[in-house]
Amino acid sequence: MKNIWYYIMRSYIKIGLFFLHKKITIFGKENIPKKGAIIFVGNHQNALIDAILIPTTTNRVIYFLTRASAFVNKPVRNFLSSLNMIPVYRIRDGISTIEKNLESFNQCFEVLKDEGAIQIFAEGNHDIKRQIRPLKKGFARIILGTLKKYPNLKIQIVPVGFNYNSHLNFPSSVSIHYGEPILANNLINIENHDVRFSKIIFEVSSALKKLTLHIEDSDNYDEIIHKLNTAKVDYTNLDEVNKLVKNIKVTPSKLIPKENNFNWLTPIHLIAKLNSIFPLLIWKYLKSSISDIVFTNTFRFALITTLFPLFYLIQTAIVYSIFNLKYALIYLVSCILIGVISTKTMTVNQ
């Protein structure tokens, strides 16, 4: 029954992601083992969106390591747990709460023992900067703890790179790159492990840097991003953008921007906005109150999956009350078609 609920929610979330993104492109899906214990380790640039893209683009049932602050009360805790979310406590949550991680880690040990899949964002926090930050030890500790308890178990690490053409604007596109699995057993000595987990962290970090845009030059980061944005580079095209970054110092200081082509579907985009005026006004109000801009698309996704469909259903009911079922259905189908056309054809600013 729990898996049925998981699949239902996953399908609904996929619909929401379809309307949030202009395009979702997946690379390396063949690298995901169909069986066995897996830990997906991804870069973290887009808050909740990163977390829900992995389970909606793979066939594995995945358990999420989620910040404990999200488990605010029992109803919310029960709901999140029903979606395979496992709370993780940080030092900022209080020293005493760190002990609660033992229970969460034990749950992870059992998931892996049953050849399940876990996802974790090893950078430990999110940031829209296009670079891989130093990885935390949490995922390595989970692997070590599991192997100490079940030494014959094989654990594969699948690195995941997210590349968004825009982290904040709508509708963004994203490419997801699944790297070749890394056998964790070869990187951890159970009997005499490195307390810094240097080897496994280096291997996973190196893999992630190949799967996403990683601007190593932090001192000139802003200048490099400015040049890329000026050239209107497609950040989802990893090969193209990495070649450009590699040669960025020998390119002119002012790259020639690509011309913006006129979008002939702009009238349809305008109709879509007029038809959604009230949800858009609410979104405008909420957007101004978001303290951490990395959560922009998370809030946008929440409205796309709740407020917008509710608003269209209310308007459909109004049309039905004034006219009849035929016109109500025509209106509802029109809302969906206009929404699809707008999401898939709007021009996105970086």
Is pLDDT larger for residue 324 or for residue 230? 324
Q: For residue 262, what pLDDT is reported?
A: 76
315's CB contacts (< 8 A; 6+ apart) are 331, 335
CB 146 within 8 A of CB 112: yes
Nearest in space to 42 (alpha carbons), one of 229, 307, 32, 34: 32
pLDDT at 148: 94
- Across the chain, mean pLDDT equals 90
Q: Are 123 and 20 in contact (CB under 8 A)?
A: no
pLDDT of 251 > 70? The answer is no
Taking domain 2-11+19-211, whether its CATH number is 3.40.1130.10 is answered by: yes
Q: Are 49 and 297 in contact (CB under 8 A)?
A: yes
Sign of the CA dihedral with 83 first, then 70, 296, and 331 last: positive
Locate 107 and state its tokens: 């749950």
Predicted local confidence at residue 92, as pLDDT: 64
Give the whole-number percent of the chain exceeding pLDDT 90.
70
260 contacts: CB under 8 Å, gap ≥ 6:
347
pLDDT attached to residue 256: 56
Q: How far apart are CA 163 and CA 346, in angstroms?
A: 19
| Confidence check: pLDDT of 91 > 70 | no
Query: For the residues 71-95, what does the mean pLDDT come to?
Result: 77
Mean pLDDT of 151-164: 97
Domain chopping of the chain, boundaries: 2-11+19-211, 215-259, 266-345
> For residue 232, is it left (φ>0), alpha (ψ between -120 and 50) or beta?
left
Per-residue pLDDT band for 253 (boundaries 50, 70, 90) equals low
Could you tell me which residues come within 8 angstroms of residue 125 by beta carbon, excluding any fewer than 6 positions away? 44, 133
276: pLDDT strictly greater than 80: yes
- Enumerate residues 6+ apart whose C-beta is below 8 A from 341: 265, 268, 272
pLDDT > 70: percent of the chain: 93
Burial 256-281 (b: 16+ CB within 10 A, else e): eeeeeeeeeeeebbeebeebbeebbe
Task: Provide the β-strand partners of residue 63.
Answer: 118
pLDDT at 319 over 90: yes
Q: Is a pLDDT exceeding 60 seen at residue 163?
A: yes
Q: Quick check: 128 and 293 in contact, CB under 8 A?
A: yes
- Cα–Cα distance measured from residue 81 to residue 75, given in angstroms and rounded to the nearest whole number: 10
